[in-house]
Amino acid sequence: MSKTLRAVRGMNDVLMEETPLWRHIEDTARQILDTYLYREIKLPILEQTELFRRSIGEVTDIVEKEMYTFEDRNGESLTLRPEATAGVVRAAISNGLVHNQRHKVWTVGPMFRREKPQKGRYRQFHQINVEAIGYQGPDVDVEMILMSARLFRALGLPSIRLELNTLGTAAARQQYRRRLIDYFERYQSDLDDEAARRLHSNPLRILDSKNPALADIIAAAPSLEDDLDVESRAHFETLCELVTAAGIEFTVNRRLVRGLDYYSRTVFEWITDQLGAQGAVLSGGRYDGLYEQLGGKPAAAIGWAAGVERLVGLYEACHREKLAFQPHLYIVAVGQPALREAILLAERLRDALPGLNVDVNFDGGSFKSQLKRADKSGAPWALIIGEAELQAGQFGLKPLRSDAEQRSHDENSLQRVLGQMLADTTT
């Protein structure tokens, strides 16, 4: 017997039961992003490996050990995108969207990181990713936060808290980096392997360590705050003031450094305690140096990405009822002539009532078994067409979720009743 094929570890099938919620989340995000005038772009999933090395940073977990990289047939090194920001920057540069221009864009799709799979952390996952290109902030930084807060409100996700920090300019971070190295060198023998490895390459990442044995050393480490330049300090103060004025609670977390190297100034994360260890639902920040770093004209920019799987998980934790995908009408058709009429009538109804979901009973069956299927479909109404109905040009509309009586309708009257039902369900 041939071996059963299975999905790649950490890469999930999202099946029919789940997709209505995915769609609801994406549609909600789409509607909100429209109201802030962000425009959708669609980008390739594969990029040159070099792009991620130069943007995310050589000494980050992602580039060091999590990328799916392979050599193309022509010898070029390609990588499945681990995140979207680098691709957005590449696309903006290669399409000439940067010089003296400003763009608000968003994109949604799969990302790939070879992390250790666990609840909320996958090797293929999806992000809704938003970027404002050419904006200095801090006004747009606030809008970024307001948009994400609006998304959580619209989805009814109450238990997410906001953490904010500023990483200052590249020069300030360089100065801080040296101070951190000096500090951690004093504890070199106490550091775990990971921290020791990071000590001279990326000491800021040690601050992110989850190792409890390092907690005290990290807690006493110098703060970036002391190295901040005047402009970054003012930028951050205005940002905090505006976020407060908008009525959004937050905490300043001086240890929030983020796992990608391109950030400068504002960084933020929305975190929940309801998803176990993988609590970051949406995160982002400003990356004012990245355009230049990737060979483009200098451009200030900021963005965020929300993990769709985490939004789905949190939605399910906050809402008991499942989002259903059901027909409005299930047509029961007994006999070949009735089935023929059912197919044609369903088309006419879809023409007349856009948005009406009509399921026709295919593959025959007795009246009883068809009614059973109608009931199972979740439809509120069954439309019954048999020989007698065909002759009379009248269809039986049977309510399936109440004790109300079945009624006969000609096609016009049927359209009126269904149109009213559709209007009632969409308001």
Smallest gap from residue 305 Cβ to ligand HAM (A): 4
Q: Is-contact 81 47, C-beta < 8 A? A: yes
- For 67, the token pair is 């990328």
Smallest gap from residue 272 Cβ to ligand HAM (A): 10
By the rule CB under 6 A, 283 interacts with ligand HAM? yes
Smallest gap from residue 318 Cβ to ligand HAM (A): 16
Distance CA 156, CA 306 (A): 15
Query: Residue 332: in which H helix or E strand, if any?
Result: strand 329-333
Smallest gap from residue 32 Cβ to ligand HAM (A): 16
Cα radius of gyration (the chain): 28
Distance CA 224, CA 216 (A): 17
Phi, psi (rounded to 5 degrees) for 13: -85, 135
Smallest gap from residue 267 Cβ to ligand HAM (A): 8
* 268, 304, 330, 395: residue in contact with ligand HAM (rule CB under 6 A): 304
Question: Which residue's entry shows tokens 């101070």?
Answer: 179
Task: Decide: helix, strand or coil at residue 76.
Answer: coil
Single out the segment in contact with ligand HAM by CB under 6 A; choices: 95-103, 132-140, 283-291, 314-322.
Answer: 283-291
Binding mask 42-61 for ligand HAM (x = CB under 6 A): --------------------
Nearest CA to 359 out of 334, 399, 332 is that of: 332
Q: How many residues bind ligand HAM (CB under 6 A)?
A: 27
- Please say which residue, 264 or 283, places its beta carbon nearer to ligand HAM: 283
Instruction: Kindly state the DSSP code that residue 57 receives in the 8-state scheme.
Output: -
User: Do the bridges between strand 381-385 and strand 250-252 make them parallel or antiparallel, or are there none, so unpaired?
Assistant: unpaired
- Other Cβ atoms within 10 Å of 417 Cβ, number: 14
* Residue 325, C-beta contacts closer than 8 angstroms, at least 6 positions apart: 16, 19, 20
* 134, 203, 303, 327: residue in contact with ligand HAM (rule CB under 6 A): 303
- Please say which residue, 270 or 395, places its beta carbon nearer to ligand HAM: 270
By the rule CB under 6 A, 285 interacts with ligand HAM? yes
* 163, 309, 359, 389: residue in contact with ligand HAM (rule CB under 6 A): 309
By the rule CB under 6 A, 359 interacts with ligand HAM? no
Q: Which of residues 161-190 bind ligand HAM (CB under 6 A)?
A: none
- Please say which residue, 271 or 346, places its beta carbon nearer to ligand HAM: 271
- Bridge partner list, 329: 358, 381
Smallest gap from residue 263 Cβ to ligand HAM (A): 7
Q: Which of residues 68-127 bind ligand HAM (CB under 6 A)?
A: 83-85, 113, 115, 120-122, 125, 127
- Other Cβ atoms within 10 Å of 324 Cβ, number: 9
- Other Cβ atoms within 10 Å of 129 Cβ, number: 23
By the rule CB under 6 A, 281 interacts with ligand HAM? yes
Q: Which of residues 233-262 bind ligand HAM (CB under 6 A)?
A: 259-260
Distance CA 266, CA 137 (A): 9
Binding residues for ligand HAM (CB under 6 A):
83-85, 113, 115, 120-122, 125, 127, 129, 131, 259-260, 280-285, 303-307, 309-310
